[in-house]
Amino acid sequence: MSRRETARTALVALFVTALVTAQLTASKVLAVPLPVSLGPTGSTVFLPGAALAYALTFFASDCYAELYGKRAAQVLVNVAFAMNFVLLALVWSTILAPAAPTSVDPAQFATVLGASTNIVAGSLLAYVVSQNWDVVVFDALRERTDGSYLWLRNVGSTATSQAIDTVLFVSVAFFVAPTLLGTGQVLPVPVLVSLAVGQYLLKLLIAVVDTPFVYAVVRFVRDGTDRAAANPWAGE
């Protein structure tokens, strides 16, 4: 298998693993202390546990879009979206199945893995909109810059898509869905703003930090492709 094919499989695996992890860890709320107070967030950033794993999906999709193109990245994003429903079906079928006497406590199991309706609605909507936006913006920036400035399309696409993701998730999960469906608590607007700003700042920081790694992955794959082209027998 060539380096390019291996990288493709690895990036798909990374994307799906991070996405599944994000879905399973969304119910835990993290409190990250800051060395200074940042306006509406105060000295502590509150964000869902899924934020860290979910940020990794943008790294994987940006690498994938750069190496394999817009259409391939859109297929990855939308097939993974469908797989979210497979995950939910498997998790809830396990929650609803009868438990053996030696099992972990079924109520605790359901509490940990059974994300509430508002969290599911917010995360699914935020995912399908923001990830598709990320691919479109990434490709548009590549066209505008004639393939130069990889750092610009990595940070630019992720910064805008993470803003969309954060606003959609926070507003749907903690305001719209609880209001319309009566599931979960409706958070006050100041709390929603604090939650959204804190999440976005951390996600933006991750987008900046992961840029050198995007360069490293792309260079690694393209170097291997160039060598294989120069020596057709190298991959045999």
Sorted by where each starts, the structural domains of the chain and their CATH numbers stand as 3-230 (1.10.1760)
* Alpha helix segments (H runs only) across 2-149: 3-25, 50-68, 70-96, 106-113, 117-144
Question: 46-55 burial, b if ≥16 CB within 10 A, otherwise e?
Answer: ebbbbbbbbb
State residue 44 phi and psi, 5-degree precision: -135, 130
How far apart, in whole angstroms, are the C-alpha atoms of residue 211 and residue 41? 25
Structure tokens given for 173: 């999960």
Q: What is the pTM of this model?
A: 0.85
- CA distance linking residue 169 with residue 187, whole number of Å: 13
- Each residue's pLDDT tens digit, 90-142: 989 999 999 999 999 999 888 888 777 788 888 889 999 999 999 999 999 99
Question: For residue 39, which amino acid is it?
Answer: G
Give, in order, the Cα–Cα distances in Å from 201 to each of 45, 92, 167, 173, 206: 9, 33, 12, 19, 9
pLDDT at 220 over 70: yes
Mean pLDDT in the chain? 86
